[in-house]
């Protein structure tokens, strides 16, 4: 089974899925999946758990492209510039690029939260931890809890500043999944179109 924990790294890893708010707090953490597990499978597990991840009514999470578009989860457009360092001085060319730019600008909060977490707890970057795997899973969750406590205590020594950074059921039918995916894709396109219209109107004025 060890090979299942060896993803792109040369050493064993675990796939940790987390939801982060704009205050850099971890609002949900699911640790323990093998490093090679696809993000979509981890998300499915999180949604199926009794006390699993829940999306607030009328809201959605900004996620990376690996999760796909589904109710409550809004990924960027594939095959379009996304990461902030890809833009440079090149302005946006269309509604999809504008959407991805703003999506990335908001989702960088996740990178800041994980960066701050690893900066505070060096044990999370240890390639060969001397602990049994169940303990390693507990360590990840415990570090996230302590991180939240420190954030609440307003101690910002380990927080990376902005300037330093460039209810669902698995039993649903495939037809239902396709319909929900199409609805979320349409919602994303509608948001992108409105952004682009507002952007053009602003530039014209």
Confidence of residue 6 (pLDDT cuts 50, 70, 90): low
Cα distance between residue 101 and residue 86, in whole Å: 10
Cα distance between residue 82 and residue 87, in whole Å: 8
Percent of the chain with pLDDT over 70: 80
Above 80 in pLDDT, residue 16?
Answer: yes
Q: In the Cβ-directed half-sphere of 191, how many Cα atoms lie within 13 Å?
A: 17
Above 90 in pLDDT, residue 67?
Answer: no
Confidence of residue 8 (pLDDT cuts 50, 70, 90): low
> 74-124, pLDDT tens digit by residue?
999 999 988 878 877 888 899 999 999 999 999 989 999 999 999 989 888
Predicted pLDDT at 162: 46
Confidence of residue 140 (pLDDT cuts 50, 70, 90): very high
Element (H, E) at 87: none
Predicted pLDDT at 19: 95
Q: What is the mean pLDDT of the chain?
A: 82
Mean pLDDT of 49-72: 90
- From the list 73, 64, 66, 71, the residue with the least C-alpha distance to 100 is 64
Range of the domain at 52: 2-204
pTM: 0.76
Above 80 in pLDDT, residue 153?
Answer: no
Above 90 in pLDDT, residue 18?
Answer: yes
Contacts of residue 61, defined as CB under 8 A and 6 or more positions apart, other chains included, come to 19, 55, 72, 73, 74
Reading the block at residue 89, the tokens are 């001085």
Count of structural domains within the chain: 1
> 161-183, pLDDT tens digit by residue?
544 434 333 333 444 567 888 88
Q: Helices in the chain by DSSP H: which ranges?
A: 39-48, 95-120, 133-152, 174-204
């Amino acid at each position: 089974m060890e090979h299942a924990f060896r993803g792109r790294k040369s050493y064993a890893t675990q796939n940790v899925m987390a939801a982060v708010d704009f205050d850099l707090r971890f609002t949900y953490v699911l640790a323990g999946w093998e490093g090679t597990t696809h993000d979509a499978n981890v998300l499915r597990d999180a949604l199926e758990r009794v006390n699993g991840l829940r999306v607030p009514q009328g809201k959605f999470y900004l996620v990376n492209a690996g999760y796909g578009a589904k109710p409550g989860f809004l990924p960027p457009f594939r095959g379009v510039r996304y990461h902030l360092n890809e833009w440079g001085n090149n302005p946006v060319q269309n509604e999809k690029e504008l959407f991805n730019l703003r999506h990335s600008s908001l989702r960088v909060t996740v990178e800041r939260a994980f960066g701050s977490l690893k900066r505070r707890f060096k044990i999370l970057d240890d390639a060969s931890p001397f602990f049994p795997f169940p303990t390693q899973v507990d360590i990840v969750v415990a570090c996230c809890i302590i991180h939240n406590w420190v954030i609440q205590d307003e101690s910002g020594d380990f927080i990376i500043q902005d300037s330093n950074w460039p209810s669902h059921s698995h039993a649903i039918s495939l037809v239902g999944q396709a319909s929900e995916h199409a609805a979320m894709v349409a919602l994303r396109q509608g948001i992108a179109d409105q952004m682009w219209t507002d952007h053009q109107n602003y530039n014209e004025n």
